[in-house]
């Protein structure tokens, strides 16, 4: 099982911000990535729809005999919790728990902001987990529904007028709240970290993909499943629509790791 690949999924590009850390931390591991680009964005859908899609994504990864599944998607992690892993009886993590732990380590004043998709914020997942671990934490949550569309369209530069206008709309109101830490509760949002930082100078941003990659490494090590080769891991990418765009923006999101799609997967077969 140590040699088996790790499965990672998201609705689109966002999960690649976790992948870039997973690959850096565990360069000898093989990874199977599935981006459900045909049904993106997940964050504006209902709970039932999101869970149905997440189960199909997990089954797809399991068909590759993965040793662990990572829901590199804030929406699925929020709506499905850890129950999805238990349902399939596999080692599993979402991004909520690791991000919450990182935020609680980072905060000094206990005031923590959370941004995510509509479904994520509506679920209250981050807030519940933060308060479970620190009852007196003050949590300010805010949905940012256009962050996924603008990053999927490539508008990530902190200098671009579109990025600036959308980031200002959602992030500026957080300036008056006194938060010293902000959880980027959707993996897409790491692509906007610089633009967000400019509006919130001095606030520590928690990259949910980074926190999750660290948690995956720990979890695999603890259960003796870590493949500790230092190089040579294979990356396979599958998407359900528009592989060309995925490769173009994906290589940017992966900060230089080459993204080549192995195959396009019809959602009818999921």
SS3 category, 193: helix
Residue window 155-174: x/- pattern of binding to a copy of itself, with contact defined by CB under 8 A: x-----xx-xxx-xx-----
Decide if residue 106 touches a copy of itself (CB under 8 A): no
Beta carbon of residue 254, minimum distance to a copy of itself (angstroms, whole number): 21
**Could you confirm whether 73 is annotated as catalytic?**
yes
Decide if residue 51 touches a copy of itself (CB under 8 A): no
Question: How crowded is the C-beta side of 184, counted as CA atoms within 13 Å?
Answer: 30
- Quick one: which of 39, 67, 188, 210 contacts a copy of itself (CB under 8 A)? 39
Tokens of 212: 């999750």
**Could you confirm whether 156 is annotated as catalytic?**
no
Burial of 10 (0-12, 13-18, 19+ CB in 10 A): buried
Are the C-beta atoms of 103 and 112 separated by less than 8 Å?
Answer: yes
The DSSP annotation for 47-110 comes to: HHHHHHHHHHHHHHHHTTT-SEEEE--HHHHHHHTTHHHHHHTS-EE-SHHHHHHHHHHH-SSS
Active-site option among 73, 144, 156, 261 = 73
Decide if residue 153 touches a copy of itself (CB under 8 A): yes
Beta carbon of residue 235, minimum distance to a copy of itself (angstroms, whole number): 24
Residues in the site for a copy of itself, rule: CB under 8 A? 38-39, 44-46, 49, 145-146, 149-150, 152-153, 155, 161-162, 164-166, 168-169, 241-242, 267
Catalytic residues: 73, 186
């Amino acid at each position: 099982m140590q040699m088996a690949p790790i499965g990672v999924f998201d609705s689109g590009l966002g999960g690649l911000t976790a992948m870039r850390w997973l690959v850096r931390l565990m360069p000898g591991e093989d990874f199977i990535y599935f981006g459900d680009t045909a049904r993106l964005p997940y964050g504006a859908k209902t709970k039932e729809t999101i869970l149905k899609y997440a189960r199909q994504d997990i089954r797809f990864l399991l068909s590759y005999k993965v040793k662990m599944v990572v829901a590199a998607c804030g929406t699925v992690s929020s709506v499905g919790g850890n129950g999805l892993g238990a349902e399939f009886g596999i080692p599993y993590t979402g991004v909520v728990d690791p991000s919450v732990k990182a935020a609680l380590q980072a905060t000094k004043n206990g005031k923590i902001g959370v941004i995510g998709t509509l479904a994520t914020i509506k679920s209250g997942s981050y807030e519940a987990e933060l308060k479970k671990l620190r009852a007196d934490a003050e949590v300010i949550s805010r949905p940012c529904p256009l962050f996924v569309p603008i990053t999927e369209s490539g508008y990530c530069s902190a200098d671009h007028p579109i990025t600036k206008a959308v980031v200002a709309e959602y992030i500026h109101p957080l300036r008056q709240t006194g938060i010293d830490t902000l959880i980027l509760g959707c993996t897409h949002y790491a692509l906007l970290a610089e633009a967000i930082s400019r509006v919130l100078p001095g606030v520590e941003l928690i990259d949910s993909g980074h926190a999750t990659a660290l948690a995956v490494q720990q979890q695999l090590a603890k259960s003796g499943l870590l493949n500790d080769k230092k190089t040579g891991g294979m990356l396979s990418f599958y998407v359900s629509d528009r592989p060309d765009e995925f490769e173009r923006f994906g290589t940017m999101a992966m900060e230089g790791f080459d993204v080549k799609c192995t195959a396009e997967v019809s959602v009818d077969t999921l």
